[in-house]
Structure 1
Amino acid sequence: MRGRPRERAAAGRTVLLAGWLFADLLLLLLVIALGSLPREQRTGASHKPSTPSSPPPSTQPAERGLVLKPCSFTVRTGSAGSVRQQFGAQLRGAGVADRTAGFVLSFGTAPDPGPGQDAADKVNSMITDGFSRFRHAPKRGYWKGGPSGKVRIDVFFLAAPDGNTSFPKGCHSSDDG
């Protein structure tokens, strides 16, 4: 007889936890639904018709999207000047020196995680200081196993000023294999 009250208490806790899980899932769905709404509906702002003082719609800047495939570059670690020179030359060679970075993932190659991630973080700070179009992009440093001395930089660019989000023709991606 002693086992029955415990079983009822356990069943009651399970039902209670299931109720909280259901409530949390509904809250998550609400957040996702609100996040997927167009900007005007999220902020409650209404679209205003263009006035004579605003530029015609064809010359207004497009909303900035993100190129979903990264352009990959590899630099050898060293002095800040050397890293910036290598990276700048690769940006110019790929034809993306005038593009703005959306976010940057860097992978420092080293036998151990600590030095590899440190190298990636160091290169990220060199890029931030040396290239104004990379200054506001979030950057993350990661480790990639292998011999020390190189950092692969994957750059996800913002859309071109005309709104084009296609992969830049001069780039190659680490996703390509």
Structure 2
Amino acid sequence: MSRLPGRAASGGTVLLAGWLFADLLLLLLVIALGSLPREERTGATPTPAPAVPSPPASTQPAQRGLVLKPCSFTVRTGSAASVRKQFRAQLGRAGVADRTAGFVLSFGTAPDPGPGQEAAERVNSIVTDGFPRFEHAPKRGYWKGGPSGRVRIDVFFLATPDGDTSFPERCRSSDDGED
């Protein structure tokens, strides 16, 4: 009795598919075990860290939150000294000269995006260089359509040292529609 040539070929294919399936399952098992944390792979229990007594509530530092509404300032473009002078005066009038910036968004007005964004980026670098409480805050420059020559600076301040995240009462915000 002789075997048919087509039958032998199909039996070999099924056999190879079975081994391929088994190999894939083994690979998935190795990947799953490798992704477990070390303690779960070895069966060891982690040793707890020694308890550190927490200081009394009155001496714990406040968590640094972020004021969720920006204080908005507008400066005319010009020399770095002029921009710093305008910005310093506006920070003082708003009563936030001693606050630390969380992040800063600047919007340079210009008819075209390139010059507007360049003006915003330039003002950001002036603010970074001239105001120590702003130097570590992330800053982004954007374009806003309109006549050239002005940059609106939206500053999101960090909470005060006592944890207050309320909006500074003498600030104005572009969120209020007074753009």
| 1:172 positional shift | 0.5
| 1:59 positional shift | 2.9
1:63 — aligned with what? 63
Letter in 1 for 2:53: P
RMSD (Å) for aligned C-alpha atoms: 1.7
SS at match of 1:126: helix
Residue-pair matches, total: 130
Q: Deviations over 1:64-123 (max 9, x none)?
A: 000000000000000000000000000010000000000000000000000000000000
What runs of 5+ residues in structure 2 fail to find an aligned partner? 1-47
- Return the match for 2:53 from 49, 52, 58: 49
CA distance in structure 1 between the partners assigned to 2:77 and 2:51 by the alignment: 49
CA distance in structure 1 between the partners assigned to 2:171 and 2:51 by the alignment: 37
**TM-score by structure 1 length?**
0.70
What runs of 5+ residues in structure 1 fail to find an aligned partner? 1-43
2:168 — aligned with what? 168
| 1:57 positional shift | 2.5
Percent identity among equivalent residues?
81
**Higher alpha-carbon Rg:** 2
Deviating runs (4+, > 3 A) in structure 1?
A: 44-47
2:115 — aligned with what? 115
1:155 — aligned with what? 155
| 1:46 positional shift | 8.2
Question: Are 2:102 and 1:102 equivalent residues in the alignment?
Answer: yes
2:75 — aligned with what? 75
